[in-house]
Amino acid sequence: MFYACLERFDADDGDRWLDYLRWLGRIDLPRVVTLDSMLCPPLVPIEADTDWEFAVNEDYLTDFFIDLEFVLRRAAAFPRSTVLAAVREPSDADVAGFRHPGFTFAGFDVVDAQGGVSALLNCGGFPDVFSVEELSPMSGLIAARVRAFEIRDRLRQLHPDEPHADCHVWALWCR
> What average pLDDT does range 61-68 have in this prediction?
92
The pTM of this model reads 0.94
Q: What pLDDT does residue 144 have?
A: 97
Q: Could you tell me what percent of the chain has a pLDDT over 90?
A: 83
- Single out the residue of 24, 53, 25, 26 nearest to residue 39, CA to CA: 24
The alpha carbon of 154 is separated from its chain's Cα centroid by a whole number of angstroms, namely 19
Residues spanned by the domain of 90: 2-174
Strands 31-32 and 104-112: unpaired
Distance between CA atoms of residues 114 and 15, nearest Å: 29
Strand order in the sheet with 167-174: 2-7, 81-88, 167-174, 104-112
Computed over every residue of the chain, the mean pLDDT equals 94
pLDDT digit string, tens, across residues 134-152? 999 999 999 999 999 999 9
Neighbour count for residue 146 (Cβ, 10 Å):
10
Which of the four pLDDT bands, split at 50, 70 and 90, describes residue 114? Answer: confident
Q: How many domains does the chain have?
A: 1
